[in-house]
Amino acid sequence: MKTLLCGGAGYIGSHMLKWLVERGHSVTVLDNLSTGHREAVQWGEFVQADLLDPASLESAFAGRSFDAVIHFCARSLVGESVAQPYDYYANNVAGTLNLLEAMKRHGVSKLVFSSTAAVFGHPVQDFIDEEHPKAPINPYGASKLMVERILADAAQAHGLRSMALRYFNAAGASPESDIGESHQPETHLIPNALRAALGTGPGLKVFGSDYPTPDGTCVRDYVHVDDLAQAHEQALAYMDTHEGAHAFNLGNGQGFSVREVIDAASRVAGRPVPYELAPRRAGDPPVLVASSQRARAELGWSPRYTSLDDIIETAYRWHRNPRY
């Protein structure tokens, strides 16, 4: 199978790339390297192109044929999206429209799209399933929900088959430590906690300790990047037999507070995570935990990393000696 992997130089995309190539897929990576790393593209073919530049986008399709596109490209920081909404709608919505038009021109009719738990906003039930109301509370989540709606329209108008996979919090790294999470600046909790413990980053700031949660800090559902990669491969197969636009929530179904993540990172690193309490970060909902029953039942998805310590252990191995 030939796949165009947009955003394959990024954190989740590079794990997807490795996963697919190891399973015999032929992969072309498209990335503008805005937040990704050329060093992360260690397999397949690389084309430097920007979804916001239709001419460069065209160069990735020209002379190649693809069975499907997997689309990871996005601006994806909740707090930044509150401060810079235009950039988020341009990159995440207009950029995706350019990609969809290029796919239509080149006869590619299957897409896996990176959506997010941020499409739901404040949860109204403990475990968020696909039917949960979609009411994003930040421009990032709103931009992803707009794309989901475009995909439903594209199915009806153009017969596009699509899978919106709504990840909860992606975490961990390849067990071989050849690729891992490296954002500049790093804003995610687990890398920041590990870098604080290792002394390779500043002390951790805990954003908010007065949330309506058992210990006052935000609760999230952490899912390993390789488990996400497995779901994408299953999503590609699902589209062989299912028309239309589909959405699946991907998480482990267990929530951990920021304090619990700090404790787990300390256990894994064998030393304390230095931290201080800080004000809330704009746009953060208190609790986000997935119900992934649909993915389990319909895709046959079964995450292999179910322990937070095991997930953090793979991240720790990467952060001890990051290659980029």
Q: Which residue shows structure tokens 């267990």?
A: 254
Distances in Å between the alpha carbon of 149 and those of 79, 152, 174, 283?
23, 5, 33, 22
The answer to whether residues 322 and 195 touch, using CB atoms and an 8 Å cutoff, is no
Task: State whether the Cα torsion 127-133-136-140 is positive or negative.
Answer: positive
Residue 268 interacting partner from ligand UPG, ligand NAD, none (CB closer than 5 to 8 Å by kind): none
Q: Residue from 50, 226, 284, 313 that binds ligand UPG (CB under 6 A)?
A: 284
Asked if 73 touches ligand NAD (CB under 6 A), the answer is yes
Q: Residue from 56, 98, 177, 187 that binds ligand UPG (CB under 6 A)?
A: 187
**Is the bond leading into 185 cis (omega within 30 degrees of zero)?**
yes
Q: Minimal distance in Å, beta carbon 92 to ligand NAD?
A: 7
Catalytic residue among 11, 88, 89, 140: 140
Q: Minimal distance in Å, beta carbon 36 to ligand NAD?
A: 2
Cα–Cα distance, 225 to 170 (Å, whole number): 6
Asked if 34 touches ligand NAD (CB under 6 A), the answer is yes
Q: How many CA atoms are closer than 13 Å to the CA of 294, on its beta-carbon side? A: 19
Asked if 93 touches ligand NAD (CB under 6 A), the answer is no
Cα–Cα distance, 29 to 14 (Å, whole number): 9
Asked if 227 touches ligand NAD (CB under 6 A), the answer is no
Q: What 8-state DSSP symbol labels residue 3?
A: E
Residue positions counted in the chain: 324
Q: Which stretch binds ligand NAD (CB under 6 A): 45-53, 150-158, 238-246, 293-301?
A: 45-53
Residue 32 interacting partner from ligand NAD, ligand UPG, none (CB closer than 5 to 8 Å by kind): ligand NAD
Active site residue 167: no
Residue numbers of the site for ligand NAD (CB under 6 A)? 7, 9-13, 31-36, 50-52, 72-74, 76, 91, 95, 114, 116, 167, 169-170
Which residues are tagged catalytic? 140
